[in-house]
Amino acid sequence: MKTRNAFQHEEVFVQLIREQKERFYLLAYSYTKNEQDALDVVQDSIQKAMLSLDRLENVEYMKSWFYKIVVRTSIDFLRKHKRLHVTDDDTLQYLTPAQEDIYENVDLEHALDELPIMYREVVILHYFEDLKLADVANILNIKLSTAKSRLYKALKLLKIQLEDVKGETAHG
Amino acid sequence: MDEKIKELEKQYNEVSIPKELDFVVENALKQGKKKRKKRAPQWLLGSAAAAMLFTAGLNVSPAMARTLSDIPVVGSVVKVLTWTEYKVADDSYDADIKVPSIENLDNKDLATTLNEKYRSEGKALYDDFIAEVGDLKAKGGGHLGVDSGYEVKTDNDQILSIGRYIVNTVGSSSTVMHYDTIDKKNDILITLPMLFKDDTYLKTISENIKEQMREQAAASNQEKVYWLKGAGLPDEEVSDEFTAVKADQQFYISNEGKLVISFDKYEVAPGYMGVVEFEIPTDVLKNDLVSSMYIH
């Protein structure tokens, strides 16, 4: 019985990965900020997931279960590689190629990148990956209330005023 | 929904998906399936671990390396080979990092230490490069290049001198050299201080280099310029004057048994002079030298 479950799980899993691989890649990239590393994270996540596929009880949870694996693998990766590059403004200016000043969206340019990870991941999962706040909380292993407050803080940091927060109205 | 969130989402989705993603995903799925079918991934892990132990053993355990090197395969000729090469070729990002490896040195500990150093430095250089490219891309792109490799400066019966260079290109380029000089007969790594009786060599060498700098500047009609008063530049333009060589200054021993002191680009001269070298006449050194075994 269990083997059959596992077999079905595998089919569903393969399909999910094939359909959504770009989404998972983007999520990994939002942590690693590097193509090669993001690919590594995707690869590791898939292999980890397949080894513990049998332990997944309900196929319905598969997507958020896999998001969770990607998030953890990404964070593990960052921890292992401790890539903190502190660059002073002068060097930055020197290294950054001369660009035409474009004023539209100037405050949005890189706004997301500059957000600390703990806020950025909430925004990405909730708004871009369309997940319910409860699922976001589960994926990030935090309480629902924490997820909510991080989302508000993130929006505040992004200086975005919303009439309504999507999570409250659209997802209930 | 707020326009700004939409805009951010657009940016998020605009990250380009590498071509390799399909391949990586399919491969991971295939590997994953295989492991699951086996239902005993333990033995796979086991054999992988054994293979790793074997490789690691060669590098780490002198005993194992010795046992293996006793099996006659090729004559024990000390060789320098390219152990690995990291390559990135993109429109605006290039990396070419060649990592050398010293083979067949009787002193396996020495060979291991050097090779491990070369490998970890090569890997670190590559990792840094990739991280920097990632940063640059995130900030809107740019140009970046790193070229690293090695050249065998001297390889005779007595001496093996390897110079490793790193050229970083960000607009202008900087070059850094690292030398390792090995006594092949006695299997020891030669350092600059051990060639001399005491510290006076620092002064002797420095004074000789200053002399050479001034001579070169005069002889080349000020085309060659050094950061030293009287060596091509008006005194007031010499701000960071060369005073003395460091105790661990980069050096190698030439095929003729001469000591050559090397300075990185910008270290003692303007950038266009590149990496500069000074051969120190043995006459100048002979009172300070411990013996004339290496330098003569």
Element (H, E) at A141: none
Contact between residue B62 and residue B109 where contact means Cβ atoms under 8 Å apart: yes
What are the tokens at B125? 């250089």
Report the range out of A54-63, A102-111, B29-38 with the highest average pLDDT.
Answer: A54-63
Burial class (CB in 10 A: 0-12, 13-18, 19+), B51: exposed
- Kindly list the residues from chain B whose CB atom is less than 8 angstroms away from the CB atom of residue A33: 134-135, 137-138
- Kindly list the residues from chain A whose CB atom is less than 8 angstroms away from the CB atom of residue B4: 108, 158, 160
Can you give the pLDDT at residue A121? Answer: 93
Q: Among residues B91, B173, B165, B88, which one has the least CA distance to residue B131? A: B88
Domains of chain B, residue spans: 2-190, 194-285
Quote the CA–CA distance of B42 and B107 in Å, as a whole number.
37
Q: Across residues B33-43, what is the average pLDDT?
A: 60
Can you give the pLDDT at residue A170? Answer: 45
Can you give the pLDDT at residue B55? Answer: 52
Residue B64 phi, psi dihedral angles, 5° rounding: -65, -45
User: Residues 6 or more apart from A141 whose CB is under 8 A from it?
Assistant: A68
Statement: residue B40 has pLDDT above 80: no
Statement: residue A167 has pLDDT above 50: no
CA dihedral sign, ordered A21, A23, A29, A35: positive
Can you give the pLDDT at residue B5? Answer: 84
What is the C-alpha radius of gyration for chain B, rounded to an integer number of angstroms? Answer: 26
Give yes or no for B18 touching A (CB within 8 A). yes
Statement: residue A103 has pLDDT above 50: no
B38 → chain A, closest CA residue = A51
Quote the CA–CA distance of A82 and B131 in Å, as a whole number.
11
Q: Across residues A126-152, what is the average pLDDT?
A: 92
Poorest-pLDDT segment among A31-45, B77-91, B245-259, B264-278: B77-91
Residue A139 Cα, gap to closest chain B Cα (Å): 19
Q: Across residues A65-80, what is the average pLDDT?
A: 91
Give yes or no for B170 touching A (CB within 8 A). yes
Report the range out of A91-100, A105-114, B203-212, B240-249 with the highest average pLDDT.
Answer: B203-212
- Kindly list the residues from chain B whose CB atom is less than 8 angstroms away from the CB atom of residue A35: 18, 134
Give yes or no for B14 touching A (CB within 8 A). no
Statement: residue B72 has pLDDT above 70: no
The hierarchical CATH code for the domain B194-285 is: 3.90.640.20
Can you give the pLDDT at residue B293? Answer: 79
Q: pLDDT digit string (tens) for B10-25? A: 888 888 899 889 989 9
pTM of the model: 0.44
Residues of A numbered 61-90 whose beta carbons fall under 8 angstroms of chain B's beta carbons: which are they? 81, 83, 85, 87
A107 → chain B, closest CA residue = B4
Statement: residue B120 has pLDDT above 80: yes
pLDDT band at residue B56 under the 50/70/90 scheme? low
Can you give the pLDDT at residue A16? Answer: 92
Statement: residue A24 has pLDDT above 50: yes
Partner-chain residue, chosen from A39, A47, A111, that has the shortest CB–CB distance to B8: A111
Give yes or no for B38 touching A (CB within 8 A). no
Can you give the pLDDT at residue B73? Answer: 40
Statement: residue A28 has pLDDT above 90: yes
Give B173-229 as a DSSP string: EEEEEEEEEEETTTTEEE-TGGGBSSTHHHHHHHHHHHHHHHHHHHHTTT-S--SSB
Statement: residue B115 has pLDDT above 60: yes
Please indicate whether, in this complex, the C-beta atoms of A50 and B36 are within 8 angstroms of each other: yes
Residues of A numbered 10-49 whose beta carbons fall under 8 angstroms of chain B's beta carbons: which are they? 10, 14, 17-18, 21-22, 25-26, 29-30, 32-37, 39, 42-43, 46-47, 49
ipTM value? 0.74
Element (H, E) at B12: helix B3-13
Statement: residue B108 has pLDDT above 90: no
Residues of B numbered 128-147 whose beta carbons fall under 8 angstroms of chain A's beta carbons: which are they? 130-143
Can you give the pLDDT at residue A5? Answer: 60
Statement: residue A98 has pLDDT above 80: no
User: Residues 6 or more apart from A29 whose CB is under 8 A from it?
Assistant: A35, A38, B15
Give yes or no for B48 touching A (CB within 8 A). no
- Tell me which fold the domain B2-190 belongs to: Heat Shock Protein 90 (3.30.565)
Can you give the pLDDT at residue B63? Answer: 55
Partner-chain residue, chosen from B12, B138, B142, that has the shortest CB–CB distance to A33: B138
Quote the CA–CA distance of B95 and B253 in Å, as a whole number.
29
Statement: residue B185 has pLDDT above 80: no
Element (H, E) at B149: strand B144-155
Give the DSSP letter of residue B233.
Answer: B
Report the range out of B48-57, B137-146, B279-288 with the highest average pLDDT.
Answer: B279-288
Residues of A numbered 97-126 whose beta carbons fall under 8 angstroms of chain B's beta carbons: which are they? 97, 99, 105, 108, 110-113, 123-124
A16-21 CB contacts, 8 Å cutoff, 24+ apart: A16/A62, A16/A63, A16/A66, A17/A46, A17/A66, A17/B25, A17/B29, A18/B25, A18/B29, A20/A63, A21/B21, A21/B22, A21/B25
Average pLDDT, chain B: 78
Can you give the pLDDT at residue B76? Answer: 42
- Candidates A48, A84, A100, A127: best to mutate against B (most CBs of B within 10 A) is A127
Statement: residue B70 has pLDDT above 50: no
Element (H, E) at A71: helix A62-81
Burial class (CB in 10 A: 0-12, 13-18, 19+), B181: buried
Q: pLDDT digit string (tens) for B187-224? A: 788 888 888 888 888 888 999 999 998 888 888 877 78
pLDDT band at residue B62 under the 50/70/90 scheme? low
